[in-house]
Protein backbone atom coordinates (compact mmCIF):
# COMPACT_ATOMS: atom_id res chain seq x y z
CA UNK A 1 0.00 0.00 0.00
CA UNK A 2 1.42 3.40 -0.92
CA UNK A 3 1.12 6.76 0.83
CA UNK A 4 -1.70 8.00 -1.40
CA UNK A 5 -3.74 4.85 -0.68
CA UNK A 6 -3.35 5.44 3.05
CA UNK A 7 -4.37 9.10 2.69
CA UNK A 8 -7.51 8.04 0.80
CA UNK A 9 -8.42 5.65 3.64
CA UNK A 10 -7.93 8.51 6.11
CA UNK A 11 -10.19 10.71 3.96
CA UNK A 12 -12.87 8.04 4.08
CA UNK A 13 -12.49 7.67 7.86
CA UNK A 14 -12.86 11.45 8.20
CA UNK A 15 -16.50 11.11 7.11
CA UNK A 16 -17.22 9.48 10.51
CA UNK A 17 -15.78 12.31 12.61
CA UNK A 18 -17.90 13.51 15.53
CA UNK A 19 -16.97 17.19 15.60
CA UNK A 20 -19.98 19.24 16.64
CA UNK A 21 -17.82 21.69 18.61
CA UNK A 22 -15.19 22.68 16.05
CA UNK A 23 -16.86 21.50 12.84
CA UNK A 24 -13.32 20.38 11.86
CA UNK A 25 -13.27 16.74 10.81
CA UNK A 26 -10.07 14.71 10.97
CA UNK A 27 -9.39 11.19 9.78
CA UNK A 28 -6.37 8.99 10.33
CA UNK A 29 -5.26 5.68 8.88
CA UNK A 30 -2.52 3.75 10.65
CA UNK A 31 -0.81 0.86 8.87
CA UNK A 32 1.10 -1.77 10.78
CA UNK A 33 4.18 -3.57 9.55
CA UNK A 34 1.96 -6.62 8.92
CA UNK A 35 -0.18 -4.52 6.54
CA UNK A 36 -3.28 -4.15 8.71
CA UNK A 37 -4.86 -0.68 8.62
CA UNK A 38 -6.62 0.86 11.61
CA UNK A 39 -8.63 4.03 11.28
CA UNK A 40 -9.49 6.84 13.68
CA UNK A 41 -11.52 10.03 13.63
CA UNK A 42 -11.67 12.97 15.96
CA UNK A 43 -14.40 12.58 18.56
CA UNK A 44 -15.36 15.75 20.41
CA UNK A 45 -17.13 15.64 23.76
CA UNK A 46 -19.47 18.57 24.40
CA UNK A 47 -19.72 18.43 28.19
CA UNK A 48 -16.08 17.90 29.13
CA UNK A 49 -13.84 18.86 26.16
CA UNK A 50 -10.84 17.22 27.85
CA UNK A 51 -12.49 13.88 27.09
CA UNK A 52 -12.30 14.55 23.36
CA UNK A 53 -9.92 12.50 21.25
CA UNK A 54 -7.93 13.23 18.11
CA UNK A 55 -8.02 10.93 15.08
CA UNK A 56 -4.37 9.96 15.43
CA UNK A 57 -4.76 8.78 19.01
CA UNK A 58 -7.98 6.91 18.19
CA UNK A 59 -6.21 5.04 15.36
CA UNK A 60 -3.28 4.09 17.61
CA UNK A 61 -5.64 3.01 20.41
CA UNK A 62 -7.69 1.01 17.91
CA UNK A 63 -4.56 -0.86 16.78
CA UNK A 64 -3.34 -1.48 20.31
CA UNK A 65 -6.76 -2.71 21.43
CA UNK A 66 -6.52 -5.28 18.61
CA UNK A 67 -3.09 -6.39 19.84
CA UNK A 68 -1.08 -4.62 17.11
CA UNK A 69 1.90 -2.55 18.25
CA UNK A 70 4.31 -2.61 15.32
CA UNK A 71 3.49 0.49 13.26
CA UNK A 72 4.75 1.60 9.85
CA UNK A 73 2.95 4.86 9.00
CA UNK A 74 -0.03 7.03 9.88
CA UNK A 75 -1.85 9.23 7.37
CA UNK A 76 -3.72 12.28 8.67
CA UNK A 77 -6.23 14.45 6.80
CA UNK A 78 -8.60 17.13 7.98
CA UNK A 79 -10.68 20.15 7.17
CA UNK A 80 -13.93 21.84 7.99
CA UNK A 81 -17.01 19.72 7.37
CA UNK A 82 -18.36 20.11 3.81
CA UNK A 83 -15.21 21.98 2.78
CA UNK A 84 -11.98 21.10 1.00
CA UNK A 85 -9.17 19.36 2.83
CA UNK A 86 -6.77 21.52 4.81
CA UNK A 87 -3.34 20.88 3.31
CA UNK A 88 -1.59 22.53 6.26
CA UNK A 89 -2.75 19.97 8.84
CA UNK A 90 -0.19 18.44 11.18
CA UNK A 91 -0.62 16.42 14.37
CA UNK A 92 -1.47 18.64 17.35
CA UNK A 93 0.89 18.94 20.32
CA UNK A 94 -0.85 16.21 22.31
CA UNK A 95 -0.72 13.83 19.35
CA UNK A 96 2.93 14.65 18.74
CA UNK A 97 3.73 13.62 22.31
CA UNK A 98 1.51 10.53 22.01
CA UNK A 99 3.20 9.46 18.77
CA UNK A 100 6.60 10.03 20.35
CA UNK A 101 5.62 7.85 23.33
CA UNK A 102 3.64 5.11 21.56
CA UNK A 103 5.11 4.77 18.07
CA UNK A 104 8.25 6.86 17.79
CA UNK A 105 9.46 5.50 14.44
CA UNK A 106 6.17 5.78 12.56
CA UNK A 107 6.10 7.81 9.34
CA UNK A 108 3.55 10.65 9.40
CA UNK A 109 1.87 11.21 6.04
CA UNK A 110 -0.08 14.36 5.16
CA UNK A 111 -0.94 16.16 1.95
CA UNK A 112 1.43 18.87 0.81
CA UNK A 113 0.24 22.18 -0.63
CA UNK A 114 0.43 20.64 -4.10
CA UNK A 115 -1.89 17.79 -3.05
CA UNK A 116 0.94 15.25 -3.11
CA UNK A 117 1.82 13.08 -0.09
CA UNK A 118 4.41 14.45 2.34
CA UNK A 119 6.17 11.97 4.64
CA UNK A 120 7.95 13.06 7.82
CA UNK A 121 8.93 11.51 11.12
CA UNK A 122 7.89 12.85 14.51
CA UNK A 123 11.33 14.39 15.02
CA UNK A 124 10.57 16.90 12.26
CA UNK A 125 7.57 18.27 14.16
CA UNK A 126 9.52 18.50 17.42
CA UNK A 127 12.46 20.53 16.10
CA UNK A 128 13.23 24.00 17.38
CA UNK A 129 12.39 25.94 14.24
CA UNK A 130 12.21 29.41 15.65
CA UNK A 131 14.80 31.34 17.56
CA UNK A 132 13.54 33.94 19.99
CA UNK A 133 15.00 37.39 19.68
CA UNK A 134 17.07 38.51 22.64
Q: Tally the residues of the chain.
A: 134
- Residue 1's CB: how many other CB atoms inside 10 A? 13
Classify 36 as helix, strand or coil.
coil
Phi/psi for 94 (5° steps) reads -65, -45
Q: Residue 47 contacts by C-beta under 8 Å, 6 or more apart in sequence? A: none
Q: Would you name the residues annotated as active-site residues?
A: 56
Amino acid sequence: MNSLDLLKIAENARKNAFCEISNYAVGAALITKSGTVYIGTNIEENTIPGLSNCAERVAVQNAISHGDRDFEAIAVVGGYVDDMLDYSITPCGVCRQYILDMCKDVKIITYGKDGEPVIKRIDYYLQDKYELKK
